[in-house]
Amino acid sequence: MAGTPRTWNDADVGTVTRKKPVPEGLWLRCDGCGSILFKRALENNLGVCPDCRHHFRIAAPERIAQLADPDSFVEFDADLTSEDPLSFVDIKPYTERLEGARRKTGTNEAVQCGTAFIKGRKVVMAVMDFRFLGGSMGSVVGEKIARAIEVAAEEDLTLIVVSASGGARMMESGLSLMQMAKTSAALARFDQMGGLYVSVLTDPTTGGVTASFAMLGDVILAEPKALIGFAGPRVIKNTIRQDLPDGFQRSEFLLEHGFVDRVVDRHDLRSEISSLIDYAGK
Amino acid sequence: MSTPETPAILPFETPVADLESQIRAMKEREDATEWVEQIRALEESREDVLRKLYAELSPADVVKVARHPGRPQTADYINNIFRDFRELHGDRRFGDDPAIITGFGRVGPFKVLVVGHQKGRTTEERIKCHFGCAHPEGYRKAIAKMKLAEKFGLPVVTLIDTPGAYPGMGPEERGQAEAIAVSMKEMSGLQTPIVSVVIGEGGSGGALGIGVADRVDMLEFAWYSVISPEGCAAILWKEANDTTNAQAASALALTAKHNLANGIIDGIVEEPTGGAHRNVAEASERLERHLVDRLREVTRLNPRTLVDRRYDKFRQMGTANPQAS
């Protein structure tokens, strides 16, 4: 993804303008503080609101451009696509949803994997893209993550996975579910051989992704205020019939309860990761 | 924990219910001995009707059978199958989750560790067990006891029966996702045989959390899927009602046959005519025979080979274009 232009497409804008419409194009409203932000300025600030530090969701190409040394990312398995194994149709056929997601994102699936350098340290990187069917994990996402783990194992490289996902993809049902076992098993092997795995949790990371590779990092970093959990807040609310406290299932909540090592501002992510690689002696 | 004498009648079972009430009426007559022939004929046609009904259940009906209040649960199978059962409690971290039962038991010639979701039968039990929805401490207990089994070379049998892991505040605070992830990771490398059977509901990560096994099978009328049909309908159809739930149940390919065809399970354990809830003793006998067969298969292999094959088994699941190399 070397040289990917840092532009925000319509989908990104769509997620941040739901309160009051802001004129399309150059400006958008911050979800965190309501400030009207100049888009270009927000991009230059890595998608972080300069006023309130709200971390906007960013697409996989932007994330890679932010984390990797310039032009160092070499993608693999970019051509893997879903087969629609169950011929799944809800109110729309799965194939149509896939086609729409491909058009919207310009990528084939909800994760991009490859090798890259971070401050000169070679890593394997898997970056999820929430724009692609909510970053959901079907067979292809599971397969790509498993291959990324195996490449890291074969080449003795640090593994970085940046998660952004609503969970396992319903349209591949049991096959999606099994990707949780597949990726966790691959990580068990990587762990046994002494590999370093840094899991980066971003908004949102929920369901079967949290309950598999996202929670299995040697070190788990989270961006501020990211929604991280197993069950979605709405499901929990409907089950217990109570309002959920402020900050429930946010990064800081997980830090407090011992499930995240560090909450890291997006601007510091690169140096955090490179420092961890040094400590692990990789 | 006994099965109700007259199981609740499922909507598609009305023809059976009519026959059953006729049979009951005849048996209650003072001159019942005069009616033996007629009773036998009625019982035969009841079997016939049941066989036909259950041969072509829709996926939505399978879900209803899997949730039948009289369906045998882990505790029933433990009572009926495993001799000298010694329950082991607690995760040594936080508590003891009654939604997952663990303990040593004997089946056929094997000493094993049994792990299974428990839903509970009476209202009180069901509330205590959160209707079979485990908390993190359930998964942590399960994996702790499995490590014990590994240490002493005992095979593990897991019985899966959960609508899903419990969605609540406590479980999130105590790391529901982490508990399930760690359980799967540890199971994938456990150096002892693991045999799993989905006996009722196989709901999502909460099911798979104890399902990373060398052999995974399903009872004939169990379901296993990434999400419940209701959850799926609410999200993808934007509304869960009888129609959309049934559509989701079909789309999710959640029946034993579908899961076998998709390479997710290894086999199907047939249930007595009309479902396990109609004849718990026979269902237990069938499950016992199945478990002993599976245990014979897997205990032949040395642990290292088992772990390698278990890895390959799950590694191959899923489909992609171009085909995975």
A-chain residues within 8 Å CB-CB of B178?
211, 215, 259
Q: What is the CA radius of gyration of chain A?
A: 18
**Beta-carbon separation of A181 and B317 below 8 A:** yes
pLDDT at B1: 37
Quick one: average pLDDT of B231-240?
Answer: 94
Count of H-run helices and E-run strands, chain A = 10, 9
B250 touches chain A (CB under 8 A): no
Q: Above 80 in pLDDT, residue B202?
A: yes
Whole-number Cα distances in Å, A282 to A113, A120, A200, B19, B59: 20, 12, 18, 73, 51
Kindly report, residue by residue over A40-66, the tens digit of the pLDDT. 999 999 999 999 999 999 999 999 999
Give the separation between CA B116 and CA B77, rounded to whole angstroms. 10
Say which of B168, B211, B310 has its CB closest to residue A236: B168
With a CB cutoff of 8 Å and minimum separation 6, the contacts of A280 are A158, A196, A218
What are the DSSP calls for A135-166, one per residue? G-B-HHHHHHHHHHHHHHHHTT-EEEEEEEES
pLDDT at B121: 94
Say which of B173, B251, B311 has its CB closest to residue A88: B251
Domain ranges in chain B are 12-56, 63-324
Kindly report, residue by residue over B52-76, the tens digit of the pLDDT. 999 999 999 999 999 999 999 999 9
Quick one: average pLDDT of B147-163?
Answer: 98
Give the separation between CA B171 and CA A65, rounded to whole angstroms. 36
Quick one: average pLDDT of B208-230?
Answer: 98
Percent pLDDT > 90 in chain A is 89
What are the DSSP calls for B56-99, one per residue? T--HHHHHHHHT-TTS--HHHHHHHH-EEEEE----SSS---TT
- Band (pLDDT 50/70/90 cuts) for residue A1 is very low
Which is more confident, B276 or A15?
A: B276
pLDDT at B3: 40
Which is more confident, B192 or A234?
A: B192
pLDDT at A5: 36
Q: H-helix or E-strand containing A272?
A: helix A269-279
pLDDT at B30: 86
**Beta-carbon separation of B168 and A82 below 8 A:** no
pLDDT at A2: 37
Quick one: average pLDDT of B191-215?
Answer: 98
Mean pLDDT for chain B overall: 94
**A29: phi then psi, degrees, rounded to nearest 5:** -100, 140
Kindly report, residue by residue over A63-103, the tens digit of the pLDDT. 999 999 999 999 999 999 999 999 999 999 999 999 999 99
pTM above 0.90, yes or no: yes
Say which of A139, A169, A187 has its CB closest to residue B185: A187
Decide: B65 and B13 in contact? Cβ < 8 Å: no
Give the separation between CA B153 and CA B151, rounded to whole angstroms. 6
Q: Which domains does chain A have, with CATH numbers?
A: 20-56 (no CATH), 57-279 (3.90.226.10)
Residue A24 identity: E
Decide: A215 and B181 in contact? Cβ < 8 Å: yes
- Band (pLDDT 50/70/90 cuts) for residue A23 is low
Lowest-pLDDT range of A226-240, B18-32, B106-120: B18-32
Q: Above 60 in pLDDT, residue B302?
A: yes
Residue A163 identity: S
Quick one: average pLDDT of A118-137?
Answer: 98
pLDDT at A14: 38
B311 touches chain A (CB under 8 A): yes
> DSSP 3-state assignment of A129?
coil
Q: Above 50 in pLDDT, residue B139?
A: yes
Which is more confident, A188 or A18?
A: A188
pLDDT at A13: 37
- Band (pLDDT 50/70/90 cuts) for residue B7 is low
**What are the residues facing B216 on neighbouring strands?**
B196
Tell me which architecture the domain covering B63-324 has in CATH: Alpha-Beta Complex (3.90)
Percent pLDDT > 90 in chain B is 87
Q: Above 60 in pLDDT, residue A4?
A: no
pLDDT at B140: 98
**Beta-carbon separation of A169 and B226 below 8 A:** yes
